[in-house]
């Protein structure tokens, strides 16, 4: 395991040293197991005794497991999310397989050595029992035919015919002409020449040349109605 670089106070260092001096090198027994005090001392060295630590350095939990080692030796989920007891149970499996060398620096500081050599075999998971076949097949449920209601169409509104203005009969011209003088208007010209129908008739006779009845030009030639 990676030795976490956690600064410890003097009391913690003395406690670890006392535990090491007290004979924590219990590995090498037939069962390759350690008691809870040994794991607590190792966790104190690895993580400052914080079983829920995860600094993002690739190792987490009190005993600084890597994700691959944690999963390979029976751990589930994340090490830092597991309880102290669960982490110790996985650590026992690692100790049996790899020995104290899995935690090289802290194990050396605590005088722990030996162990390992036992293959880890995960517990077999029983296969689910086959589901008994049903005695009778369930007949498919017949669905009633879907009857579609006839779609109702909105009534079509017929637009009312647009009334057209009655066509204006063309005004016959006499062939005579009048040249517009300065100051003339269609009204004064019609009065001066005695045109029946007044300026309206004079205008209708010249709709092709007069743009507007109030807009005539001096020198323009008007056709006189018959």
Could you state, in order of their start, the residue ranges of all structural domains in the chain? 36-110, 173-225
H helices of 22-153, where?
36-47, 67-72, 84-98, 104-110
pTM above 0.85, yes or no: no
Q: Measure CA 91 to chain center.
A: 42
How much of the chain is helix, strand and coil, in % rounded to 5?
A: 30, 10, 60
- The sign one gets for the Cα dihedral 69, 74, 80, 86 is negative
Q: Coil, strand or helix: which one is 176?
A: strand
**Mean pLDDT, residues 30-46 taken together:** 85
pLDDT attached to residue 38 = 95
**Mean pLDDT, residues 135-145 taken together:** 54
- The sign one gets for the Cα dihedral 36, 39, 44, 47 is negative
pLDDT attached to residue 155 = 62
pLDDT attached to residue 127 = 46
pLDDT attached to residue 141 = 55
Split at pLDDT 50, 70, 90, the class of 170 is: confident
pLDDT attached to residue 91 = 96
Which is higher by pLDDT, 8 or 200? Answer: 200
Contacts of 126 (CB under 8 A, 6+ apart): none
Q: Which helix (H) or strand (E) holds 67?
A: helix 67-72
Q: Do domains 36-110 and 173-225 have the same CATH topology?
A: no
- Residue range 173-225 forms a domain whose CATH class is alpha beta
Q: What is the mean pLDDT of the chain?
A: 76
Residue range 10-23, pLDDT digits in tens: 233 333 333 333 33
pLDDT attached to residue 1 = 63
**Mean pLDDT, residues 179-199 taken together:** 91
Highest mean pLDDT among 52-61, 184-193, 203-212: 52-61
pLDDT reading at 152 higher than 80: no
Residue range 79-132, pLDDT digits in tens: 999 999 999 999 999 999 999 999 999 999 999 988 766 777 765 434 444 444
How many Cβ atoms are within 10 Å of 204's Cβ, its own excluded? 16
pLDDT reading at 75 higher than 90: yes
pLDDT attached to residue 226 = 85
pLDDT attached to residue 142 = 59
Q: Coil, strand or helix: which one is 41?
A: helix
Distance from C-alpha of 102 to C-alpha of 44, rounded to nearest angstrom = 16
Architecture of domain 36-110: Orthogonal Bundle (1.10)
Q: Which residues in 177-195 are b (16+ Cβ under 10 Å) and which e?
A: ebebeeebebeebbeeeeb
């Amino acid at each position: 395991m990676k030795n976490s670089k956690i600064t410890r106070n003097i009391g913690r260092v003395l406690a670890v040293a006392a535990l090491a001096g007290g004979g924590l090198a219990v590995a090498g027994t037939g069962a390759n197991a350690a008691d809870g005090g040994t794991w607590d001392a190792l966790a104190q060295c690895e993580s400052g005794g914080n079983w829920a630590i995860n600094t993002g350095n690739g190792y987490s939990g009190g005993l600084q497991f890597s994700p691959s080692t944690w999963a390979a030796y029976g751990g589930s989920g994340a090490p830092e999310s597991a309880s102290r007891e669960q982490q110790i149970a996985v650590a026992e499996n690692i100790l049996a397989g790899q020995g104290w060398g899995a935690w090289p620096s802290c194990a050396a500081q605590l005088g722990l050595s030996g162990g390992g050599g036992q293959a880890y075999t995960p517990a077999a998971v029983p296969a689910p029992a086959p589901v008994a076949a049903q005695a009778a097949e369930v007949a498919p449920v017949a669905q009633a035919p879907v009857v579609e209601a006839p779609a109702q169409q909105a009534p079509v509104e017929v637009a009312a015919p647009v009334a057209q203005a009655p066509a204006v009969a063309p005004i016959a011209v006499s062939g005579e002409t009048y040249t517009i003088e300065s100051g003339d208007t269609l009204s004064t010209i019609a009065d001066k020449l005695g045109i029946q129908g007044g300026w309206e008739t004079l205008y209708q006779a010249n709709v092709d040349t007069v743009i507007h009845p109030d807009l005539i030009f001096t020198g323009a030639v008007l056709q006189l109605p018959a």
